[in-house]
Amino acid sequence: MYGKNDLRATLQPRAAPAPEAPLKPASYCRFYAEPPVEVSETHETWFARGQNLIVAYSKVRPGAVLTREAQPDEYAVLLPERGMRVKVTAGDESQTATGPALVYVPPGESRVEALDDGELYRLLTVRSADLAAKCSNADTYAERDPNVPPFEPWPEPIGGWKIRVYSGDVPSEPGRFGRLYRGSTIMVNFGSGREGPRDLSNLSPHHHDDFEQYSIVTAGKFIHHLRWPWLSDAREWREDEHVECAAPSVAVIPPPATHTSQGLAPGLNRLADVFCPPRFDFSAREGWVLNAAEYPMPDRD
């Protein structure tokens, strides 16, 4: 079902487990249409979640400081805007990152200080229970999705915990899909986006058997198209969805919904697709994950 020349069509499919009922609904959080949860003189922050991941979106001004005092696991900071700078501190280490960039931050005490006006996204697992409680869609996940296995982190990075900064400007290469980075908890496909509306003859509907996809709109406007399988119990059937979301927003797409996203805006339409934990199928492809040498894969039965 992938579109023309989509490298994901080369992935080896796994034996698909039968989906369990009830099927989890998708969740759409349009940060531009909701009041912020945290407000200060230097930042406003919104929170949304899925089964495994929290997306914390912040509009910041110079001097804004976003802290984690006892972070239980590694998290990521996504800087989609060119030239946007932050200073990240963890323990005795500090690094400055300039967007477009992705930063992995180790567990424990850390802080992200904005050096410019702009926007940033923090991506954290729901083990950050204090932030999970602040999510605008927290009630949707009061009960687990039976089609998503319990979250398990991947192995610790080679060389131990430290701040790791990766560029969002790595040029594309033939045979490599996207711009993929993974940590011990989270994988991000840091896309460059497309100019103008997407060609309707070249969409890429597909599904995932047992993991969520978090599609974060960082520029432009999209329609997220979703279709659920029919179960034997017709009372569990769901209607197709065609949901419009502009930037900034996140769509939490549960398995096994078939989905694709269609850019609409005349200018730049850009998504960052996030997976928690990282994807095995992407990780297994030689050369696809740009920082694979730093983060080992777990054994898989």
Residues 16, 177, 9: CA angle, nearest 5 degrees: 40
* 3-state SS string for 99-150: CCEEEEECCEEEEEEECCCEEEEEEEECCCHHHHCCCCCHHHHCCCCCCCCC
Rounded to 10 degrees, the C-alpha dihedral 286/290/296/299 comes to -40
**Residue 155: what residue type?**
P
Higher pLDDT, 192 or 182: 182
The answer on pLDDT for 5 being more than 80 is no
Query: What is the H or E stretch that residue 197 is in?
Result: none
| Separation CA 125–CA 121 (nearest Å) | 13
Q: What is the pLDDT of residue 12?
A: 60
The two structure tokens encoding residue 286: 């030689």
Q: Which residue matches tokens 């959080």?
A: 29
- pLDDT digit string (tens) for 111-143? 999 999 999 999 999 999 999 999 999 999 999
Look at residue 284 and tell me whether its pLDDT is greater than 80: yes
Least Cα distance to 108 among 88, 79, 84 occurs for 88
Mean pLDDT of all residues belonging to the chain: 94
pLDDT at position 2, please?
46
- Segment 138-162 mean pLDDT: 96
- What is the rounded average pLDDT of the residues 268-273? 98
Give the rounded percent of residues in the chain with a pLDDT score beyond 70: 94
Please state the rounded mean pLDDT for residues 1-17.
Answer: 59
More confident residue, 2 or 193: 193
| Rg, Å, the chain Cα set | 18
Provide the CATH number for the domain formed by 21-294 in this structure.
2.60.120.10
Proportion of the chain above pLDDT 90, given as a percent? 87
- What are 190-228's pLDDT values in tens digits? 988 999 999 999 999 999 999 999 999 999 999 999 999
Domain boundaries, the chain: 21-294
Name residue 75's beta-bridge partners: 105
What pLDDT, on a 0 to 100 scale, did the predictor assign at position 172? 87
Of 225, 213, 157, the closest CA to residue 189 belongs to 213
pLDDT, position 175: 87
Question: For residue 28, which of 53, 44, 49 has the smallest C-alpha distance?
Answer: 49
Q: If you average pLDDT over residues 26-55, what whole number do you get?
A: 98
pLDDT for 20 = 76
180 in Cβ contact with 57 (< 8 Å) = no
Provide the residue type at 278 as one letter: P
Helix (H, G, I), strand (E, B) or coil at 25: coil
- Give per-residue pLDDT as tens, 20-32: 778 999 999 999 9
